[in-house]
Amino acid sequence: MPAVYPVTGSGAFDTNPSYSGAFIPTLWSGKLLAKFYQNTMLSEVTNTDYEGELKNQGDTVRIRLAPSISISNYTVGQTLSYEVPTPIFQDMQVNKGMYFGVQVNDVLAYQSDMNLMNMFTEDAAKQLKIAIENEVFFNSFVTEGPAAQNEGATAGKISAAYNLGTDTTPIDQATPENVLKAILRMSTVLDEQNVPEDGRFLVISPFDRHLLMQSNIAQAYFTGDQSSTIRTGKIGMLDRFNVYVSNLLPRGEAGKALVAGLSATSTGGAVTNAKARRIMVAGTKHATSFAMTINKTEPLRNQTDFGDIVRGLAVYGRKVVKPEALVTATVGSAT
């Protein structure tokens, strides 16, 4: 299968000169991008509202946010005062990249009874999903993370009454009931931030799903979704959350991530114990913005052998723009 690599060891780079917005995707690039979103969970837990601006304006997307308008008391006959709202914006840098490269030998292509290009497109999309989704999950959910009131042992903007665990003292997930209690706490923390109920998501590990489905209470609350796709990991709804399962959630000591095929430098390390410290993530798409384009996909002749080379570069950016709409719980064992 094609390997997918960060463009640099950290997965980030400086564009000098900057990427222009004049990229016109080839048919193959368009197919790859479509297949990427068909397979990834990112389209379910992040918004891609600014991809159009990325393609038109280059490698920085300015995200404009509505300012908060002050409300004042009124008495009859008073002189009114007026404020000039200050525009609020955040810049999302589209400066991260992944690439792949494969060789198609002329003899193998001639003898093959399959469409090799289509096969490589399918697999490259899957490998991009794993590589990019892991990087976004780790950095958005751990490095940038939710608002301070939406994590830790005293979560809750109003009450500070909900223990969502810490890396040193995670929530004990020894029983299915504890898993359900943690999820209900996360839901309430979002309520205290006035986060809309519509479009809420929850991402849990397969191990936590295994525990959760042993709870009679959870089974009573769970509403199945026969039309949901296995590829995005959606398993149904629970307490206003669309619930997804992923092996790519950060886990373990200091938020280490369980990843296949990527270096510890770009992902924060790896652990293999499913019961180790891990996180559950909840929120809405409004919390995190994601923008991606297949900037270059090109075939060329191999200069050292008879065959063709196909290589592709994917450039993307991600940013937590509404941390109040994101909540994490650290669960598992401290040992």
Which CATH code, of 1.20.58, 2.20.200, 3.30.1930, 3.30.70, is assigned to 146-288+322-331? Answer: 3.30.1930
pLDDT band at 111 (very low <50, low <70, confident <90, very high): low
* Percent composition of the chain: helix, strand, coil (DSSP 3-state, to 5): 30, 25, 40
Place of tokens 């001639």: 110
pLDDT reported for residue 19: 35
User: In sequence order, which residues have a C-beta less than 8 Å from that of residue 7 and are 6 or more positions away?
Assistant: 13, 96, 97, 98, 99, 313
332, burial (CB in 10 Å: exposed 0-12, middle 13-18, buried 19+): buried
Nearest-angstrom CA–CA distance, 233 and 34:
18
Token reading at 302: 């191999």
pLDDT reported for residue 137: 87
Where is pLDDT greater, at 225 or 241?
A: 241
CA proximity to 175, closest of 223, 210, 219? 210
Nearest-angstrom CA–CA distance, 97 and 94:
9
- Residue pLDDT, tens place only, 295-316: 677 778 888 888 777 788 888 8
- Residue pLDDT, tens place only, 124-136: 777 877 888 888 8
At residue 80, does pLDDT exceed 50? yes
pLDDT band at 188 (very low <50, low <70, confident <90, very high): very high
User: In sequence order, which residues have a C-beta less than 8 Å from that of residue 324 and are 6 or more positions away?
Assistant: 146, 147, 149, 150, 157, 193, 195, 287
**Mean pLDDT, to the nearest integer, of 48-63?**
67
Most confident listed range (27-36, 78-87, 258-267, 316-325) = 316-325
pLDDT reported for residue 2: 60
Nearest-angstrom CA–CA distance, 230 and 206:
13
pLDDT reported for residue 267: 40
Q: What percent of the chain has pLDDT over 70?
A: 68
Where is pLDDT greater, at 106 or 182?
A: 182
Helix (H, G, I), strand (E, B) or coil at 321: coil
**Mean pLDDT, to the nearest integer, of 179-198?**
92
Domain extents for the chain? 4-67+83-142+290-316, 146-288+322-331
The answer to whether residues 92 and 317 touch, using CB atoms and an 8 Å cutoff, is yes
CA proximity to 13, closest of 331, 334, 317? 317
pLDDT reported for residue 189: 96
pLDDT band at 34 (very low <50, low <70, confident <90, very high): low
Where is pLDDT greater, at 231 or 261?
A: 231
At residue 5, does pLDDT exceed 70? no
- Residue pLDDT, tens place only, 244-295: 888 888 765 444 443 333 333 334 334 445 556 788 999 999 899 888 877 6
pLDDT reported for residue 58: 56
Task: Report the chain's mean pLDDT, rounded to a whole number.
Answer: 74
Q: Report CA-CA distances (Å) from 10 to 36, 97, 115, 211, 255.
A: 22, 10, 34, 35, 17
